[in-house]
Amino acid sequence: MHHILQTHAHFFRTILDLKDTDMPETTFHIPNLQTQEDADAVMFELQDLPCVNQADVNLPEHTAWVSHTRMIAPEDIAAALQEAGYEATPV
């Protein structure tokens, strides 16, 4: 019984540790983001990626903000945008 309680205590500590882990947030500079159509295309690409929780595109600043899990690296997000024709650099 004592082992079961220890196992449950470890399990709940692990859940709490995961809950306290924030989603990484990455901002990308996208120099060729020029029109609303570009912004819409970038947003479509970001929303289509697995492990992306939220995204926002700022057309005047030529940036995109992405909240994502640790299962996808900022470099992978940038590569997907590059493949869609938008050079993106994490800032």
Give the domain range for residue 68: 23-90
Higher pLDDT, 17 or 60: 60
pLDDT at 21: 58
pLDDT at 16: 46
Domain count, the chain: 1
Q: What is the DSSP letter of 21?
A: S
Statement: residue 57 has pLDDT above 90? yes
- Residue 77 burial (CB count, 10 A): 23
Classify residue 44: in a domain, yes or no. yes
Q: Note the Cα 76 to chain centre separation in Å.
A: 10
Higher pLDDT, 38 or 7: 38
Q: What is the CATH number of the domain that holds 46?
A: 3.30.70.100
Classify residue 40: in a domain, yes or no. yes
> pTM for the complete prediction?
0.76
Statement: residue 69 has pLDDT above 60? yes
**Average pLDDT of the residues in 53-71:** 97
Backbone φ and ψ for 33, nearest 5 degrees, come out as: -85, 100
